[in-house]
Chain A
Amino acid sequence: MTSSGQMLAADGTPLKTSLARALRRQKLRALALIAPLLLFVVITFIVPIATMLFRSVENQIVSSTMPQAIELLQQWDSATGDAPDEAVYQALYFDLFKAAEAKEHTKLGTRLNYEQTGTSSLFRTSGRKLDDVGELWQDPIEDIAPALKDGETWFAMMSGTGSNTVLEERRALWASLVEEPFAGDVGITISDQIAQMLPLTTAAYADWAIYEAIEDGKDISKRDPWEAVYAGLGLDLRSDATVRAVNAYTGPHAADLQLLTANLDQMPNKLFKDAFAEMDEDWLDPEVWEAIKIYSPNYTSGYFLNAVDMKKGVETAEMRPENQQIYITLFKRTLWMSLVITASCIILGYPVAWLLANLPMRTANVLMILVLLPFWTSLLVRTSAWKVLLQQQGVINEILVWLGFVDDANRLILMNNATGTVIAMTHILLPFMILPLYSVMKTIPPSYLRAAKSLGATNFTAFRRVYFPQSVPGIGAGSILVFILAIGYYITPEIVGGTDGVLISNRIAYHISSSLNWGLAAALGSILLALVMVLYWLYDRIVGIDNVKLGG
């Protein structure tokens, strides 16, 4: 004790400080031990789950594939029932041309096809015909000014002094389209004067130059630009102001450009709207444009709406037609079948757990092996076992036919339907019910039952009023465990479930690996995850996550 009444540790520091320091050091040490795993789990597990949640709303593909068209489309009102005006089609042409060169347009087609059937083929066929539209301008331009056939002329004409802002803008658009930075030297500084005078030409040329130089690694001064550049030039020259500016222009190859302005009558007057209509009538269909407009924002609730059989409209969401509704049914079936499986596990597991908990230790340990063996056996082995047993030529049917209980012609259909899934999954999940039940029943003293009986209760009353209520936590724990496992099961329903016995997880796998509608898979997964989280929270409330016990 010092004079101030403070307690001191051996080294003279106040005891309080010393203890606080020790505690802090202890906390830090514990955290240092935990940190590596925590970091590992967060990176390898939590981040992937977050990625899935993000993918369920992410929808950048529309705005990154046709950025210019989308911007103009915002002014279009789908309620009028008319197709959008020429400006949108012009923008669409340049967007789509670029996307088609990078083979990205089919991805957008596939994406929009989930919402509007037929879009996939619309984009695919149009992608092949975009060059032809460009040639409408390329041919006359090359006839009038033969020098413009040559890539070197173009390079000289477009080069100059300037800040290259157009090039950087176009590079950013490319980057968001192909999801690569597209960094690197393109090898040209575009003249500011040209960029101002011929904006569409410059944009198209910059697009081409970036793609040619960075994706293909070519020297652009030697290469001929693609058709869209000629189309851009043709469009630029439609404006009188541009024609006047070209006539006053004195930069490189001004003469060639002036040849064009002198022969404007030979340039085509084709509208892009008509050009697209010739590729495919559907381009005039307001429904296609409505779908594009609805899915143009970067984030969409569309996948989630699809996952609950709804459809995103312009203003509000609406239910899909009856014959397209599958997911609600599937969710209901998943929940219902999980409930049935859980109930069967309780019915089969309860007596066994009771027996294990009340037999002498030695016998119980031997019988426990019978529960643990299937638990430790590969899931695939157990599933193949059920396939062997349940199929029409399977063991169960063979025995029943041989014994004469089932007619050979009318063998029982036990597989490829809900029955098969329920039987096989009950078998597979039964140990998960027995083990928690057993560990709870182990803690119920047998003397309680004897006390109840000696007080005059019948066996049944003693069980119902004394034993059963004490075993309820075990039922709760086992049920939630089995239920959570059941609603996310994939392998067993896939093999023995056929079409009637599949669960929502099979649909998720289908969208991941077959239909490639990843956003919808992510949305279905997110809904399932939310469901499981609620159950998990309940589980935590009832038993606590620390009390999870495994077989050993």
Chain B
Amino acid sequence: MAILAQAPRPKLMTFTAPCTAALAAAIAFVVGNAFGAPLVGLAIGAVFGFILAALLGQFAVPRTMGRTATIAFVAVAGFSVGALGGAVAGALLGAVISWFFYWLHTGAYRRSVPVYYTAAQTLWYNTFLFICGLVFFFLIAPLLPVIWLSFNAQDFFTFTPEMLSFDPAGYSLKHYRDFLGTDEWMVPLKNSLIIAPIATLISVTLGTLAAIGLSQSHVPFRQAIMAIMISPMIVPLIISATGMFFFYAPLGNWLEANLGLNQSFVGYVKVILAHSVLGVPFVIITVTATLVGFDNSLTRAAANMGANPVTTFFRVQMPLILPGVISGGLFAFITSFDEVVVVLFVGSAQQQTLPWQMFTGLREQISPTILAAATILVTFSILLLTTVELLRRRSERLRGLSPS
């Protein structure tokens, strides 16, 4: 695609500079509005943008230098009105404006569209990218204030002026200390870490066996069996929870009365059973998906060489489907670890899990410790996501599919 690399540079004075001026004006309009003078901001921004673009373009300032200078200039301007916080905001805005200038100036904005595209088509394509960017922003951005606020030194759910001006006094780890140091949070965490792994183990063991059974040819009533096994995922949680509430309470009483088990133990059993059945569909789906690409001649070859079915399973089949099993297990784990409704209906106070504690916290007393818990959970889910992604790649490599 050598043609694309040589995209012509756009005209500086009639295109790049006015566009940069427009962006700077729009930003300055918003900032000006904060100081009660939007129109003044608009004018300053337009003039600044135009002059900046003209200078950088006319003297062909190298990219790194041009950007550094712009960022520094706007940051100083920001510092003069809003101290440290203003400087950070200014640096960000400077980075945006200078990036935009060079994006236009170097013709990079046409890099991803075919060379024959008209100006309108290019504009539309870039607008489309911008819209997609906004959606990605919508997906990710809500998580960021949570992480930021979890370091709040105050017991507020909102940003304090100290936080906004990056004053170290505005930040502290006290919510993390609260989270790690009190029974209020550690007992639920412990409960979650008891319930989720056991539930996962049950759903993975039974689910993998059943997925292997289902993937064989000639299974009678395959559709119906599949429908039953997937049903815990399809039926809304509130309905599952209601049903379990009616069924597990007498079941628990029966276990306590007839087997003499203690109440707390029975409580855990109930929650674990409920959670493992909720995890089953995920294991079934991922493991059956892995088995679709499984070469059955391998098991036949193993049998041919004298391995019994159990050996074949553990030495031949299992290593190959392991990535699927583990990622199904992770889904099951996160289902249990993240589940509130069922445990709320089936469990008692002794089985209070982390999400339950967060739920009551959000509903009743608002404490920023929830945000510390949330940040820890986000970190946790990033780790899980990485694991799943690595496993998926490994699985594709093992199965000889095209590497991604």
Contact = CB atoms under 8 A, between A and B. Distances in A.
A434 to B, nearest CB: 9
A129 interface: no
Given A380-B359, A522-B242, A365 B30 contact: no
A18 B345 CA distance: 53
Contacts of B319: none
A26 B219 CA distance: 8
A381 interface: yes
Nearest to B220: A27
Interface string B212-231: 11101111100001111111
B294 interface: no
* Chain A binding surface SS class: helix
Contacts of B273: 44
Interface of B: 30-31, 33-36, 38, 121, 124, 128-129, 131-132, 135-136, 138-140, 142-143, 145-146, 149, 157-159, 202, 206-207, 209-210, 212-214, 216-220, 225-240, 242-248, 273-274, 276-277, 280, 282, 284-286, 288-289, 327, 331, 334, 337-338, 340-341, 344-345, 355, 358-359, 362-363, 370-371, 374, 377-378, 381-382, 384-385, 388-389, 391-392, 404
A427 B139 contact: yes
A220 B268 CA distance: 40
Interface residues of A, number: 96
A521 B242 contact: yes
Nearest to A481: B234
Contact of A404 (B34, B334, B385): B34
Given A52-B239, A351-B128, A490-B237, A395 B158 contact: yes
Given A32-B213, A395-B159, A374 B218 contact: no
A384 B362 contact: yes
A373 B382 contact: yes
B338 A380 contact: yes
Contacts of A536: 234
Contacts, number: 286
Nearest to B207: A37
A38 B210 contact: yes
Contacts of A488: 235-239
B234 A484 contact: yes
A38 to B, nearest CB: 6
Contacts of A378: 337-338, 355, 358, 374, 377-378, 381
Nearest to B371: A384
B1 to A, nearest CB: 12
24 contacts: A26-B216, A27-B218, A37-B206, A38-B229, A41-B231, A41-B280, A45-B240, A48-B248, A52-B243, A351-B132, A351-B135, A371-B139, A373-B140, A377-B381, A378-B377, A381-B146, A381-B358, A384-B146, A385-B142, A430-B135, A494-B363, A508-B239, A513-B345, A551-B388
A394 B388 contact: no
- Residue with the greatest number of chain A CB neighbours at <10 A, chosen from B149, B232, B374, B389: B374
B374 A370 contact: no
A552 B363 contact: no
B362 A49 contact: no
Nearest to A42: B228
A245 interface: no
A41 B136 contact: no
Interface stretch (A74-82, A86-94, A542-550): A542-550
A427 B140 CA distance: 9
Interface in A23-38: 23, 26-27, 29-34, 36-38
Nearest to A529: B239
A303 interface: no
B136 A389 contact: no
A348 interface: yes
Interface in A1-53: 23, 26-27, 29-34, 36-38, 40-42, 44-52
Contacts of B225: 34, 38
A368 to B, nearest CB: 9
A31 B221 CA distance: 10
Contacts of B371: 384, 388
Contacts of A485: 236
A532 B236 contact: yes
A386 interface: yes
A491 interface: yes
A495 B362 contact: yes
B280 A405 contact: no
Given A48-B248, A488-B239, A545 B377 contact: no
Contacts of A545: 226-227, 230
Contact of A532 (B149, B235, B247): B235
Contact of A376 (B135, B145, B146, B334): B334
A397 to B, nearest CB: 9
Contact of A381 (B128, B220, B233, B377): B377
Nearest to A58: B246
A505 interface: yes
B246 A51 contact: yes
A335 to B, nearest CB: 13
Interface in A350-398: 351-352, 355, 361, 365, 367, 369-374, 376-389, 391, 393-395, 398
A157 to B, nearest CB: 36
B155 to A, nearest CB: 13
Interface of A: 23, 26-27, 29-34, 36-38, 40-42, 44-52, 55, 348-349, 351-352, 355, 361, 365, 367, 369-374, 376-389, 391, 393-395, 398, 402-405, 427, 430-431, 459, 484-485, 487-491, 494-495, 505, 508-509, 512-513, 518, 521-522, 525, 528-529, 532, 536, 540, 545-546, 548-552
A403 B149 CA distance: 20
Contacts of A512: 242, 245, 345
A525 B239 contact: yes
A102 B46 CA distance: 84
- Residue with the greatest number of chain A CB neighbours at <10 A, chosen from B143, B247, B392: B247
Contacts of B31: 403
Contacts of B238: 488-490, 505, 508-509, 525, 528
Contacts of B404: 361, 365
A404 B40 CA distance: 14
A388 B210 contact: no
Given A373-B140, A398-B158, A404-B34, A46 B384 contact: no
A31 B34 contact: no
A389 B145 contact: yes
Contact of B33 (A376, A405, A495, A550): A405
B219 A31 contact: yes
A512 B239 CA distance: 11
Closest 10 CB pairs of A and B: A488-B236, A33-B213, A48-B243, A48-B247, A37-B210, A52-B243, A505-B238, A34-B213, A381-B374, A37-B206
B362 to A, nearest CB: 5
A400 B275 CA distance: 42
A522 B340 contact: no
B347 to A, nearest CB: 12
A459 B69 CA distance: 41
Nearest to B156: A393
A550 B286 contact: yes
A451 to B, nearest CB: 15
Given A361-B404, A370-B140, A488-B236, A380 B362 contact: yes
Contacts of B337: 378
A551 B286 CA distance: 10
B317 to A, nearest CB: 12
B392 to A, nearest CB: 5
Given A36-B206, A45-B277, A518 B362 contact: no
A113 B239 CA distance: 25
Contacts of B35: 404
A349 B236 CA distance: 22
Contacts of A509: 238, 341, 344-345
A34 B214 contact: yes
A30 B334 CA distance: 29
A324 to B, nearest CB: 23
A387 B231 CA distance: 31
